[in-house]
Amino acid sequence: MRVRVLSLLVLIGACKAPEDAPPPPQAPAPILAQWKALFPSLKGAPMAGAPAPLLSALPKNKPVVVNFWASYCPPCLAEMPMFQKLHESGHAIVGVSMDAEDKKLAAKLLASNGARYPNLVLDQASMKAVGLALPEGLPFTAIFDGRGALKNLISGKLTQPEVLAALRAAQ
Amino acid sequence: MKSTPSKGINSLAFCALALALSAAPACKKAEAKTKGVGDNLRAFLIKNCADGKRYCQVCAYGGKPTIMAVVDLEDKGAEKDLVQIQKMLDANKDKGLTAFALYGTFKNGMFSPVKDDDAAAKKLKSTTERLGLSYPVTLLPTKYSEKELKSYTPFVDAYEVKKSRTLMLADAGNKVLWSATIADGSAETQYKNLETALKKNL
């Protein structure tokens, strides 16, 4: 009997909808505080346009996923189709490229990976500041709640269920 | 239905076109290899000698200035470089400087994986401890899975490094700012040049 119940539980676990993924772990408080202080100073420019504060480019009144990426980072490029899907389903996704010196390359990679969600390229000073603050390199993703408060920071390549879980946890 | 000569030529032309189209991706221009100053550090997989993990060290250091040291496993002279890099790291910690050593073997001027990477990792782990290095000492992986090859170009195809003790310093945007192959006779001068490049760019 016990084996049957256990098998049933295993089966239920295996059939669980992918959207039910547990949220990624919460970033340590000191790192979150560091990034809360850093974000207001960051400047980024859209693929065509002048630099402006990054925070002003984030959509208002809904949770936002801010994904830091770079042309030299294959896991970052691999995430793009997933973020595009989320963007198409109505989620607010903003890409932030660390390719301050090569905006053309960033635009080319976005196009070749089918990424049409809003993207910014950090200026040199912001890129350096972000580099110093990155705890484990790229890719790196920040989650904001609907009131514009930074809720979590996640290092590494994410899956769609993980992003959805992080958004749910931020609400 | 009989085949006419013109139909035969048409089918031949069609076959040639189909063949040309199918071969097109193979003819795609390969990305230029990273050789030194002005190029970008490109992503590649490494095996970390401390824990055996395989990952992209260039990605893990994304956004930070980095020194990469390419070293032959049998090159004892390179240990001096690694210690020197550690000193530079300690002096520039607050500026986000990072570093890693990449071990392999040089065969006919080509940097290749060592035969037994488990044994090499063990050896390098003790070297790391003996030299007091706090940065990753890594190895070229001997094999790649198909999935890995879809994402990462092997080092030998992404870089043109012909000699042991080749050092590269890249900025936060991954552009190589300084590069040299250290020789015993001029090591001190080359270390000074690297320090100057660090002071100028960090």
Which residue in B42, B43, B63 is closest to A134 by CB distance? B63
Distance of CA B60 to the CA centre of its chain: 14
Q: Please give the residue that has the higher pLDDT: either A15 or A84.
A: A84
**CA distance to partner chain B, nearest, from residue A135 (Å):** 9
- Closest by CA to A132, choosing from B135, B63, B175, is B63
How many interface pairs between A and B have CB atoms less than 8 angstroms apart? Answer: 69
Q: What interface predicted TM-score (ipTM) does this complex get? A: 0.79
Cβ neighbours around A160 below 10 Å, total: 18
A16 near B CB under 8 A: no
Name chain B contacts of A128, Cβ cutoff 8 Å. 63, 96, 172
- Cβ pair A127:B172 closer than 8 A: yes
Cβ contacts of A68 on chain B, cutoff 8 Å:
63
Compute the average pLDDT of residues B73-82: 95
Nearest of B157, B170, B169, B176 to residue B44 by alpha carbon: B157
Contact A75 B59 (CB under 8 A): yes
- CA atoms lying within 13 Å on the CB side of residue B12: 7
Query: Does A49 or B188 have the greater pLDDT score?
Result: B188
Which residues on adjacent β-strands are paired with residue A114? none
Average pLDDT, chain A: 89
C-beta separation of B64 from B98 below 8 A: yes
Q: Chain A residue closest to B40 (CA)?
A: A72
Nearest CA in chain A to B172: A128
Helix (H, G, I), strand (E, B) or coil at B140: coil
Mutation target to probe the A interface, by most A beta carbons within 10 A, among B34, B174, B175, B202 is B174
- Inform me whether the pLDDT recorded for A71 exceeds 60: yes
pLDDT, tens digit (0-9, with 9 covering 90-100), for A90-143:
999 999 999 987 889 999 999 999 999 999 999 999 999 999 999 999 999 999
pLDDT of A19? 54
Report the residue from A70, A78, A100 with minimal CB separation from B62. A70
Asked whether the predicted pLDDT for residue B127 surpasses 60, the reply is yes
On chain A, the residues whose CB falls within 8 A of the CB of B40 are 72
Give the pLDDT of residue B32: 87
Q: What is the pLDDT of residues B142-164, one digit of tens each?
A: 989 999 998 899 999 999 999 99
Residue of A nearest to B60 (CA): A137
Q: Which residue of A has its CA nearest to B57?
A: A137
- The pLDDT value given to residue A23: 82
**Contact assignment for B173 to A132 by CB distance below 8 Å:** no
Angle between helix axes B187-201 and B78-91 (nearest 10 degrees) is 30
Residues β-bridged to residue B54: B47
**Cβ of A78 under 8 Å from any chain B Cβ?**
yes
